[in-house]
């Protein structure tokens, strides 16, 4: 692994002024201080005498570096985007408030938090507010360009803003409306093929459990949380479901598009590798984390070092949160990935034909709860307008769709609703844990679906699967919406002690790329994401290929997983075998090109073209295979299903349909009506014909233009790009990467957190020195050191300031 070293340059980012802080801390005049040391990449390392000053200063420096991003995230989560950025964001604002909480509800949750959490959340908000106050006094210098361009006035922050950002952001990550789409697909299939064939197709596409799907852990500590009683199955065929699904899907797509334009990450993934001493070349535990947020400028995570009595920690977390999600302490390192757990159900309510705002529940007509919200938005002429919106909810949750024609309504129920403050505190407390036992305890308090990983200098490694998982009625097919009439309510929740977890597993390692935690753990309507063909197999295979691993080895493995064509794991060998059987000289050049290709999407000579014609052939061939196998079979349902059958985690149904599965799960429907080899070669012939038309007959010239990425095509909120025009090779990689070795003397490690630490743009458009200075590192697979000790921080320090705090 390369270590990038830059010369130290003088850099002054801000002037710390003596100022009174917001009323939440204005009870006395006692002063506190905190030292802020900036390293040569602009990362702040904060040293304070107590945790109140520590988190106050944390909020302050985050605002110095990313105030406009904080403002965007706050508006994105409280539903006030449209008043600044236009009417096109109005629908998104309305959904956020429909599914969210009022200020009063959030404040009530804060009052129930433990005293430590209250202090942290209050001080962090007050620190942000101090910089807002300073920026008002000198807006030309202290407000980033976007504030001036959009005429946005920042406001002081409150603890409600901080908690809501966590609640809304994490809630959106955990959200799912797949059950409605599944029901639509089943209805379409039944219309085309009848109930019997449709069920076979549906069960193949949305299998309940694939025993061959790779699992992070063995089965110890896990329970099967889905039971079924097919003899007394609930009726889950709902009138009007197809049109309802189309409406919900359209709204969801608009919501995702608007969120991405705001720079709010939705398509999160993340991977992790944890190596125990017996599989480590040095005998020390090793940890790699790769959180996959969107590639935006500024990035979605913020790096910091926090040092006060009782805590020394360095790492990063989602912007707007005073929490380290990926980092290291003196004794241990930790990271996390999205758990893809089944925490959301859609309930279909039966409406009163005489009153569409009443629904049937346990034999009685109940009134929906009604809430009226007022939204301000900017029209095309730049004028501010107001509109009111009525929202309704049932005992199950917010009503997402009211279908008066069919006397039904769709309500969304989150298992963790009302417990977000508990999860916020658990994440915070995990930063203060001293042992693996304490870390595990906090994982059991976390109610959202996340994988937590741990490694310490004693050689312990651990994986803990978090979340609040409902015990569902055994008569309900969990892949479909649930009747909301009261007979099929949740029966409670799985005891957190029974969640999958492992400490020092027998394998000697832990790897995850959003695969399932254990082989008997399923995830309902999202079952298609956990199959035998899963991207995590890239990590598993390469970790198993070496007896002992170093940090450099893990980096090489991550490089491979980032650039590999995931379909080559199972399907390239099938194609090669089919070509070998034919012994047809027409395929000789094609065979050799595929054989010579290392399965990676690389451009090592940096000529803007991928290096191998094998890649060109494979990428032209694979989509045709999928279309030829399913398009005619699925008919009208195929457009909705293509991205489910062949998705970013894998194509497991195709593996089974082509006879390539090694597991016990078989297909119920006869998808393949010809010999597998014939299907593969027919698709190849079609691909070759197209390639010859485009490139000629010389296979060696069939080089494809390399796909490139930037941070991003547009900056936050879709402005003309301020960030970076630097293009780099597309990679399925963490948007941040960190590698830590836990030695007996403490942690050693490197990381990269592009595009840069500081997202500030001067009023004249000049980018801050540290706005994009980590892109080159990222593109070249180079890293900067993780500065944990005070000696290391001082070695790379370029500025030291003392913030004086009036309390």
Q: What is the pLDDT of residue 11?
A: 26
Q: What is the pLDDT of residue 724?
A: 67
Specify the pTM: 0.92
**Which residue in this structure is represented by tokens 């090779």?**
729
Rounded to whole angstroms, the Cα distance separating 575 from 676 reads 10
Q: How far does CA 135 lie from the centroid of its chain?
A: 32
Q: Say if CB 735 and CB 289 are below 8 A apart.
A: no
Residue ranges of the domains in the chain? 566-599+602-706
Tokens of 217: 């852990």
| Nearby residues of 7 by Cβ (< 8 Å), 6 or more positions away | none
- Taking the CA atoms of residue 605, residue 610, residue 613 and residue 616 in that order, the dihedral angle to the nearest 10 degrees is 180
Pick the CATH number of 566-599+602-706 from 3.20.20.70, 3.40.309.10, 3.40.630.40, 1.10.1400.10: 1.10.1400.10
Q: What is the pLDDT of residue 106?
A: 95
Q: What is the pLDDT of residue 259?
A: 55
12 vs 15, 67, 177, 353, CA distance in Å?
8, 17, 48, 68
| Nearby residues of 138 by Cβ (< 8 Å), 6 or more positions away | none
pLDDT tens string 600-627: 999 999 999 999 999 999 999 999 999 9
| Nearby residues of 388 by Cβ (< 8 Å), 6 or more positions away | 372, 373, 374, 375
Rounded to whole angstroms, the Cα distance separating 319 from 70 reads 7
Tokens of 612: 């191998």
Rounded to whole angstroms, the Cα distance separating 264 from 79 reads 13
Of 45, 536, 542, 512, which is closest to residue 288 (Cα–Cα)? Answer: 512
**Which residue in this structure is represented by tokens 């990926």?**
326
Of 213, 270, 612, 724, catalytic: 270
* DSSP state, residue 646: S
Q: What is the pLDDT of residue 719?
A: 40
Rounded to whole angstroms, the Cα distance separating 87 from 385 reads 9
From the DSSP assignment, how many helices (H) and strands (E) are in the chain?
A: 22, 27
Of 673, 631, 650, which is closest to residue 571 (Cα–Cα)? Answer: 650
Of 215, 271, 214, 217, which is closest to residue 505 (Cα–Cα)? Answer: 217
pLDDT tens string 756-776: 999 999 999 999 999 999 999
**Which residue in this structure is represented by tokens 């309507």?**
525
Q: What is the pLDDT of residue 235?
A: 86
Tokens of 734: 């963490």
β-partners of residue 411 are 347, 399
- Whether residue 270 lies in the annotated active site: yes
Q: In what helix (H) or strand (E) does residue 93 lie, and over which residues does it extend?
A: helix 90-99
- Which portions of the chain are predicted below pLDDT 70? 1-30, 219-231, 251-268, 713-724, 807
pLDDT tens string 71-116: 988 998 899 989 998 998 899 899 889 999 999 999 999 999 999 9
End-to-end Cα separation, the chain, in angstroms: 46
């Amino acid at each position: 692994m390369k270590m990038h070293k830059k010369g130290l340059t003088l850099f002054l980012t801000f002037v710390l002024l003596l100022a009174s802080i917001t009323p939440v801390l204005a009870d006395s005049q006692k002063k506190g201080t905190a030292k802020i040391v900036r390293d040569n990449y602009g990362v702040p390392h904060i040293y304070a005498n107590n945790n109140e000053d520590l988190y106050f200063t944390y909020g302050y420096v985050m605002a110095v570096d990313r105030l406009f991003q904080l403002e965007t995230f706050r508006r994105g989560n409280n539903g006030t985007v449209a008043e600044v950025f236009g009417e096109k964001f109005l629908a998104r604002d309305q959904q956020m408030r429909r599914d969210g909480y009022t200020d009063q509800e959030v404040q009530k949750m804060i009052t129930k938090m433990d005293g430590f959490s209250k202090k942290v959340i209050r001080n962090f908000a007050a620190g942000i507010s101090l910089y807002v106050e300073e920026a008002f006094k000198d807006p030309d210098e202290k407000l980033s360009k976007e504030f001036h361009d959009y005429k946005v006035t920042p406001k002081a922050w409150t603890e409600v803003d901080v908690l809501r950002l966590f609640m809304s952001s994490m809630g959106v990550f955990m959200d799912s409306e797949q059950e409605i789409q599944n029901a639509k697909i089943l209805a379409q299939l039944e219309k085309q093929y009848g109930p019997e064939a449709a069920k076979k197709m549906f069960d193949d596409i949305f299998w309940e459990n694939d025993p061959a799907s790779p699992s992070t852990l063995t089965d110890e500590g896990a329970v099967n949380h889905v039971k079924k009683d097919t003899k007394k199955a609930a009726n889950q065929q709902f009138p009007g479901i197809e049109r309802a699904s189309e409406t919900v899907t359209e709204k969801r797509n608009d919501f995702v598009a608007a969120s991405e334009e705001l720079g709010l990450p939705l398509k999160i993934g993340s991977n992790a590798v944890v190596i125990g001493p017996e599989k480590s070349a040095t005998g020390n535990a090793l940890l790699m984390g790769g959180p996959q947020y969107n590639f935006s400028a500024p990035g979605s995570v913020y790096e910091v070092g926090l040092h006060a009595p009782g805590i020394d920690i360095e790492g990063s977390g989602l912007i707007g949160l005073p929490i380290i999600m990926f980092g290291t302490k003196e004794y241990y390192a930790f990271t996390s990935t999205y758990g893809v757990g089944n925490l959301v159900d859609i309930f279909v309510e039966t409406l009163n034909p005489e009153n569409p705002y009443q629904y049937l529940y346990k034999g009685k007509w109940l009134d929906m709860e009604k809430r009226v919200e007022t939204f301000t938005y900017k029209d095309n002429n730049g004028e501010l307008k107001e509109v009111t919106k009525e929202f309704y909810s049932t005992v199950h949750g917010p009503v997402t769709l009211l279908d008066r024609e069919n006397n039904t309504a769709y309500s969304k129920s989150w298992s963790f609703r009302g417990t977000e403050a508990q999860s916020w505190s658990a994440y915070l407390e995990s930063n203060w844990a001293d042992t693996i036992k304490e870390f595990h305890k906090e994982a059991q308090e976390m109610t959202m679906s996340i994988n937590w990983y741990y490694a310490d200098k004693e050689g312990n490694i651990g994986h803990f699967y978090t979340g609040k998982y409902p015990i569902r009625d055994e008569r309900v097919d969990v892949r479909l919406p649930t009747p909301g009439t009261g007979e099929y309510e949740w029966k409670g929740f799985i005891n957190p002690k029974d969640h999958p977890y492992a400490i020092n597993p027998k394998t000697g390692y832990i790897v995850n790329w959003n695969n399932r935690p254990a082989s008997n753990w399923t995830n309902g309507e999202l079952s298609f994401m956990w199959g035998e063909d899963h991207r995590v197999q890239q990590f598993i295979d390469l970790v198993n290929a070496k007896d002992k691993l170093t940090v450099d080895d893990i980096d090489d493995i991550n490089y491979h997983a980032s650039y590999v064509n995931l379909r080559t794991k199972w399907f390239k060998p099938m194609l090669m075998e089919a070509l070998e059987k034919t012994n047809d000289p027409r395929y000789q050049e094609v065979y050799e090109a595929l054989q010579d290709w290392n399965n990676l999407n690389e451009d090592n000579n940096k000529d803007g073209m991928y290096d191998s014609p094998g890649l060109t052939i494979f990428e032209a061939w694979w989509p045709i295979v999928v279309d030829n196998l399913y398009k005619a079979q699925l008919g009208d349902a195929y457009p909705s299903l293509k991205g489910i059958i062949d998705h970013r985690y894998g194509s497991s149904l195709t593996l089974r349909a082509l006879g390539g599965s090694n597991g016990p799960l078989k297909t119920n429907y006869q998808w393949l009506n010809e010999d597998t080899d014939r299907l593969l070669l027919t698709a190849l012939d079609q691909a070759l014909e197209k390639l010859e038309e485009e490139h000629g007959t010389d296979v060696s010239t069939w080089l494809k233009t390399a796909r490139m990425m930037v941070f991003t095509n547009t900056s936050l909120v879709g402005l003309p790009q301020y960030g970076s025009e630097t293009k780099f090779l597309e990679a399925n990689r963490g948007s941040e990467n960190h590698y830590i070795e836990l030695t007996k003397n403490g942690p050693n490690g490197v990381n990269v957190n592009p595009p840069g630490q500081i997202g500030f743009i001067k009023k004249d458009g000049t980018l801050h020195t540290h706005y994009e200075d980590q892109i080159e590192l990222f593109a070249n697979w180079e890293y900067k050191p993780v500065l944990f000790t005070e000696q290391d921080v001082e070695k790379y320090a370029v500025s030291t300031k003392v913030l004086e705090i009036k309390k």
